[in-house]
Amino acid sequence: MFKTILCVSILIITNSTFSQTWEALESMPVTAVVRHHPAAFSIGGIGYVVGGAEDNSNALTDFYSYDPLADSWTDLGDYPGPPRGFGYALSTNTKGYVGFGINYDAGTSSEEYLKDLWEYEPLSDTWTQLTDCPGSARIHPAMVEIDGKIYMGCGGNEFGDLGDWWEYDINLDTWTEKATFPGSDRHHPYYFALDGYAYVGMGHSGLNIFKDFYRYDPQLDSWTQMGDLPDQGRVAGTQFAYDGKGYFLSGQGEDHQNLNTGEFWEYEPGTDSWTELLAHPDGGRWAPGSFVINGGVYLMCGEANTGVKRDLMRFQIEGFAGLDDSDQADQFTIYPNPTKGEINISNIKNMAEVSIIDIKGSQIWKGKVTSNEVLDLTHLEAGIYVCQINEDGNLSQEKLVIE
């Protein structure tokens, strides 16, 4: 079985329904087994989770929906396809798609690598099996949707890793083989689609865990190598795209062990650059799932150092890159910023509680201040932090750079 820094965004928010920290939500029902590799997608403000694999990699067929307004789960019964672990899902505005992976039975040690594709229609709550991919069956592929077509490639099976690349036309229900992925064959890469391009990189093959990254142009059927991730190679996390940027979450590093933190990276295609954001709590994990609803990313399941999970947490991306001046009228101000260590915090009406949070999401200092009071942070190392202000229950935060 396979288990195998160039720019920094301004982190400014005002009060909103969701605070810009990682928030624990209602876990999957206790009747749902813990799992890694859940196939997750969202449509119309509802999240969906299909199958995945148990701790022993036994493949699952269950199907659940999540309503963020009620913070509640609904058991939708089994989906009609084979038990599926190590597969992936995506969605258009109206339908979900699930495919590939492995049907593994831990009791008999039997395994069947899959090459099927299924379509889910939420309004009628119906599944339709589509045409199988004519390429090899596989687990851990990259899979994205661009302009009514699904692009799928890489992955691996019992014969080794793959580097082929396929286009599925949703309207025609047909597959066409396209230009081969230019990097080394690999499984479990990170991937997303942005502005009509597919991006694929990192992943794993043999003793190699990669950090390279590539862009695919469907119009030209060609690949371009982009900048490497400015960190160690990694594999087996989750990914998504939102508002013109790509994101990677969690996974394992070059030693094929869970990362020390639940790392969160943002990719800016216009500058081919990366920014590390606030890590999710409880350390890195292998093979979690994610979906995006209303500007928030929902992260679930996966294998943490403390075991396989069925949990759910949310980070609100909306507004994370800054607001216009009219939205910031009542926002507190930090100055100087960047700083050598001493700062003033203005525009606080009353005494407020201040927390300093490092880039890994850990609170490293907490105290109380009044407006224009000098705060001494010279004991902190140079780096990027978040200064979070809680004034009478109203939460705001801003990026803080200590030089």
- For the question of whether the overall pTM of this predicted structure is more than 0.75, the answer is yes
Q: Which residues pair with 138 in a beta bridge?
A: none
Is residue 152 a contact partner of residue 216, using CB atoms and an 8 Å limit? no
| 230 and 344 within one domain | no
Same domain, 340 and 224: no
- So what's the pLDDT on residue 184? 97
171, 305: one domain: yes
Closest by CA to 76, choosing from 58, 92, 54, 96, is 96
Is residue 299 located within the same domain as residue 336? no
Domain boundary at 277, 293, 316, which? Answer: 316
Q: Are the CB atoms for 310 and 32 separated by under 8 Å?
A: yes
Q: Would residue 6 count as lying in a domain?
A: no
Specify the CATH number for the domain of residue 264.
2.120.10.80
Count how many residues are written for the chain: 403
Give the pLDDT score at 360. Answer: 56
Which residues are within 8 A (CB) of 126 and not within 5 positions of it... i.e. 6 or more apart? 120
Of 281, 316, 351, which residue constitutes the final position of a domain? 316
Q: Are residues 148 and 36 in the same domain?
A: yes
- What is the C-alpha to C-alpha distance for residues 100 and 168, in angstroms, rounded to an integer? 13
Q: Position of tokens 């160690």?
A: 232
Query: To 10 degrees, the CA torsion angle through 178, 254, 158, 247?
Result: -40
The answer as to whether 58 is a domain residue is yes
Edge-first strand order for the sheet with 190-194 is: 190-194, 197-201, 213-217, 222-226
Residues 6+ apart with CB under 8 A from 15: 394, 395, 396
Q: How far is CA 99 from CA 52, 93, 136, 235, 341, in A?
A: 11, 18, 13, 20, 52
The candidate with the shortest Cα–Cα distance to 243, out of 9, 1, 5, 6, is: 9
Owning domain of residue 394: 330-402
Residue 361 has what pLDDT?
A: 60
- Would you say 150 and 144 are in contact if contact means Cβ atoms under 8 Å apart? yes
Is residue 280 included in any domain, yes or no? yes
What pLDDT was estimated at residue 382? 82
Of 129, 125, 118, 4, the closest CA to residue 51 belongs to: 118
Query: What is residue 399's predicted lDDT score, i.e. its pLDDT?
Result: 76
Tell me whether residue 13 is in a domain: no
Tell whether 185 and 273 lie within a shared domain.
yes
E strand intervals along 252-351: 262-268, 273-280, 285-286, 289-293, 296-300, 303-304, 307-308, 312-316, 333-335, 342-346
Specify the pLDDT at position 183. 97
**Do 153 and 223 lie in a common domain?**
yes
Domain membership of residue 2 (yes or no) is no
How many domains does the chain divide into? 2
Alpha-carbon gap, residue 302 to 305, rounded angstroms = 10
The answer to whether residues 337 and 225 belong to one domain is no
Q: Indicate if 210 and 245 belong to the same structural domain.
A: yes
CB-CB neighbours of 174 under 10 Å = 12
Phi, psi of 293 (to 5 degrees): -135, 125
Q: Output the pLDDT for position 8.
A: 32
| CATH for 362 | 2.60.40.3080
Question: 94 and 165, same structural domain?
Answer: yes
Low-confidence stretches of the chain (pLDDT beneath 70) = 1-20, 318-331, 359-362, 393, 395
Looking at the domain assignment, is residue 150 inside a domain?
Answer: yes
On whether both 292 and 226 belong to a single domain, the answer is yes
Last residue of a domain, one of 316, 339, 357: 316
